Chains A and B, each alone.
Chain A
Amino acid sequence: MKEQQLAKAVENKRRRSRLSREIGRHRSIYLLALLPMIYYIIFKYVPIWNAQIAFKDFRAVQGVVGSPWIGFANFKEFFDSFFFWSLIRNTVMYSVGKLLISLPLSIILAIAIYECTRPILRKVVQTLAYLPHFLSWVIMYGILLTLLAPGDGVFNDIVKLFGGTPIDFLSNTKAFPWVVLFSDAWKEMGWSAIIFIAALMGIDVSLFEAAMVEGASSWQRVRYITLPSILPVIVTVLILKLGTILDAGFNQIFMLYSPQVYAVADIIDTWVYRQGLLEFKFGLATAVGLFKGVFGMFLVLFANWISKKATDSALF
């Protein structure tokens, strides 16, 4: 018995020294990982403690711990909202819509930039595509108003030139969702394409050379080499995006929406801003945040499982 314990202790010591040797050997990598880990601990894990106010009638003076428990009352207030289903519908509509429009456009842009054989043109297009990402939604609103205003917007000037009736894109319930989806695609397409360009850079060039020798056309090279090669990255991006399916882009909607389009514009986050933050209902705001987080986590797990079954490619 003693011998066994001794052997186990020796084995543990050997394992520990192997671990410290490993850490020592890759210390630069561990050091690099340290900063993001500290960030995640401070800004992502520590705040989990405060998530308990989702179940409390939060009183600032009494603090997080001292505030009285109220069970699921905050969640009930959210679910009982007169506009609950409208909020869920709008949020999912924009999230899924952005996924369906922005993701393919980003992939197409990445492939187009990768396939472009003129370096100067490629750099110009790449820079112009990234540029809108750095503009705030306040600036974007000004640009959109200039383009889309019914009175003197550039787009409506063209419509009027051909005898059409101007459309108030920003206050028309049918047009507004498209403005949101396409303005988001315009703003973020270039930035989102970076990860796909990086993936494309990793493809073995000899595959393309062999395909060209075999007489494959450009489209065939994209279809049979490029797309399958970046499929794991596409799946990863898709799974990660599913985790934030209930985040439809607060800044964008908040800048663009108005009472005329509340019916198709009000999303969970704008509702929480008005009902939760501006009315000092931090418990309600936290409850909704928690709901979104848990929902998103299950979606990620589910999507990962489906992906593993269907394509054998998954995040974890």
Chain B
Amino acid sequence: MKKSLRFAAVLLLAALIVAPAFAAGGAETSRQAAGTPEDPVTIELWFGAAITEAGMIPDDWVGYDIIRNELGIDLKLTMLPSSESDQDQKIQAAGAGNVLPDIFMVRRPVLVNLVNQGLVAQVDDCFEKMPNRTALIYDADAIGNATIDGHVYGFASPGAIVRNEGLLVRKDWLDNLGLDIPTTTDELMEVLRAFTFNDPDGNGKNDTYGYGAFIETDANLKGYPGSRLWPIMGAFGVEGLWCFDAPNAGLNIYKPEFFDFMVFLKNMCDEGVIDPNWLSYKKDDFRAAWKQGRFGVMYEQNAAYASQANYAPFDSIFPDGEWVIIDAITGPEGHASIGAFDMNYRIYAVSQRAADAGKLDKICELLEWMSSDEGYYLLGWGQEGINYVFDENGVPVAGDLGDAAFTGADGQVYTQLRNMVFYNSDVELSSRYPTYICEVSGKEMSALRALREMQGMKWTNAIGSSTLPTPSADVQRYYDQSLAEFLSGAKALTQENWDAFIEQFNAVGGAAWNEEGVAALEASGLIRE
């Protein structure tokens, strides 16, 4: 026994002695490449894939050769995980080891962490080196989104289209029950009750609900219970996490109307007019549920609702079914809003290591090339004649290219980098959301039409939310958990309990978070009089 212990101790000591060598990693060779096709500069790029389920760009992609021959860059691509939290984890782990790639996509909260650690390069001077791309993509708002403490730490390009979600109602159910489109919270409640208890689909079963949702939150814009309840929150004037209007600027939760909204939502839960699975659903479960006809009112994104692939399952089960996009519901005090919107940006940051290695100019060269005609169409749609053809309006379309088309199973992998060049131009949107005829019902559908309708509804401007401070994990948990407990009935939703919750929330750190947020709003001039 003693011998074994001695052996183990010696082993441990030996391991600890050699550990620093392993733990610190090997020394790097830092020969500066010439940046020519013969001696290219290696640029490692971690990108957010356009179609995460489609897989990686193949090794035989023509773009590698073009970039090498024209720019003298040997491009090494790595696809980031599809889930945001997995992306954050991968990037922060690389940051912790000081092995971040040369250029990588990153969310702003993570970027702030990396900047605090000195891991990200300032790119203030880069925009003049990319005149074409800057004119197309990097406007003042975009640059502001990647600005931290007065310096720009990334290239922010437009992400998902803003105001691309809407409140939808089953028109066929309304017609079956002889109901009108609801315009007020009272009318909405009547419709929800009728959809739940009056057999709107006429199948003789008690298998439908009024409202469908799931919890979709973040720490900047979509506070608990999340954006899927926004049209109802909007009726009480508390949509979005932050209020930008004086004199209530700050967290919406402090407004008395938030309590009124909670009472309304709790009432929906108690009456059973909201799908009881809503607290358990993940996004895919929710989407499967509306396609199976479980509920008649929902808040959904334009493409998730109306693109060909997404609408087809609903169309095959309910060829006579029809969703209509309706405007914001008006609440008791006259408030109405579909939701709060912020500009969506995808930020690509350059690591300090890459800047120290003198790669910043080559990265600018690469980004500028991406926004040239050659780069734009190659990254956006693939090769002309192989992956796309132009229609009579100059819009790239799949034509009869089959699987090799940019929309086909084989061709779509060549467009994985398209989010690095797209800026939501009309050409892109027309190409992405073509008008089509439904296979079963023969209806004409268009996700672009749905988008334009949704954008035309009443929205609340919350631009700048993504730059506001995020709470600590404890504050976030207390906020989410308490609201959830009120809704589930674990805590009685009375004014007294609500006041006690606010008091405790302040004590846990909520007050400090709010003060920090208000200061940030003031400093950025975002408060509306």
Contacts and interface: CB of A to CB of B under 8 A. Distances in A.
Interface stretch (B26-34, B84-92, B249-257, B376-384): B84-92
A304 to B, nearest CB: 13
A108 interface: no
Interface-centre pick from B280, B485, B490 (highest chain A CB count, 10 A)? B280
B85 to A, nearest CB: 7
Contacts of A173: 488, 490
Contacts of A58: 96
Contacts of A166: 276
B22 A82 contact: no
B119 to A, nearest CB: 6
Contact of B481 (A46, A145, A259): A259
Interface string A46-89: 11111000000011110111000000000000000111000000
Interface in B203-224: 207, 209, 215, 224
B210 to A, nearest CB: 13
Nearest to B118: A61
Interface in B394-422: none
B24 A64 contact: yes
Nearest to B22: A46
A301 to B, nearest CB: 13
B277 A150 contact: yes
Contacts of B277: 145, 149-152
B294 interface: yes
Contacts of B374: none
B279 A266 contact: no
Contact of B119 (A47, A60, A263, A266): A60
Interface string A296-316: 000000000000000000001
Nearest to A275: B473
A36 to B, nearest CB: 13
Interface in B275-292: 275-277, 279-280, 282, 285
A178 interface: no
Interface stretch (A24-32, A218-226, A277-285): A277-285
A83 B98 CA distance: 32
Given A151-B275, A279-B113, A260 B19 contact: no
Interface residues of B, number: 55
Interface in B1-16: 1, 11-12, 15-16
B119 A83 contact: no
Interface-centre pick from B110, B477, B480 (highest chain A CB count, 10 A)? B477
Given A58-B96, A171-B280, A260-B488, A47 B23 contact: yes
A63 B15 CA distance: 20
A53 to B, nearest CB: 9
Nearest to A84: B474
Contacts of A145: 277, 280, 285
B474 A258 contact: no
B474 A81 contact: yes
Contact of B508 (A82, A171, A278, A316): A82
Contact of B24 (A63, A168, A282): A63
Given A45-B16, A173-B490, A259 B113 contact: no
B481 A263 contact: yes
Contacts of A46: 15, 18-19, 22-23
B181 interface: no
Given A45-B16, A271-B473, A278-B85, A61 B98 contact: yes
Nearest to B289: A151
A141 B11 CA distance: 43
A141 B119 CA distance: 37
A274 interface: yes
Given A49-B16, A168-B276, A280-B95, A262 B474 contact: no
Nearest to B474: A82
Contacts of B85: 278
B262 interface: no
Interface in A242-286: 258-260, 262-263, 266, 271, 274-275, 277-280, 282
B267 interface: no
A259 B23 contact: no
B451 interface: no
Given A46-B23, A49-B16, A151 B276 contact: yes
A60 B22 contact: no
Nearest to B94: A60
Contacts of A59: 117-118
Interface-centre pick from A61, A149, A152, A260 (highest chain B CB count, 10 A)? A260
B306 interface: no
Contacts of B328: none
A61 B119 contact: yes
A145 B516 CA distance: 39
Interface in B124-167: none
Contacts of B490: 173, 260, 263
Given A83-B477, A280-B114, A42 B16 contact: no
Interface-centre pick from A60, A64, A170, A266 (highest chain B CB count, 10 A)? A60
B472 interface: yes
A258 B276 CA distance: 15
A151 B209 contact: yes
B501 to A, nearest CB: 14
A237 to B, nearest CB: 22
10 pairs of A and B residues whose beta carbons are closest in the complex? A49-B19, A45-B15, A259-B480, A275-B473, A280-B113, A274-B473, A260-B484, A259-B484, A262-B481, A171-B279
Interface of B: 1, 11-12, 15-16, 18-20, 22-24, 85, 88-89, 92, 95-98, 110, 113-114, 116-119, 207, 209, 215, 224, 275-277, 279-280, 282, 285, 294, 352, 472-474, 476-478, 480-481, 483-485, 487-488, 490, 508-509
26 contacts: A41-B11, A42-B22, A47-B23, A48-B15, A48-B16, A49-B23, A50-B23, A59-B117, A60-B95, A60-B97, A60-B118, A61-B98, A61-B119, A63-B24, A168-B279, A170-B279, A173-B490, A259-B215, A259-B484, A260-B485, A263-B485, A277-B89, A280-B95, A280-B96, A280-B114, A316-B1
Given A60-B118, A61-B352, 9 more contacts: A46-B15, A46-B18, A46-B23, A60-B119, A82-B478, A149-B280, A152-B277, A280-B95, A280-B117
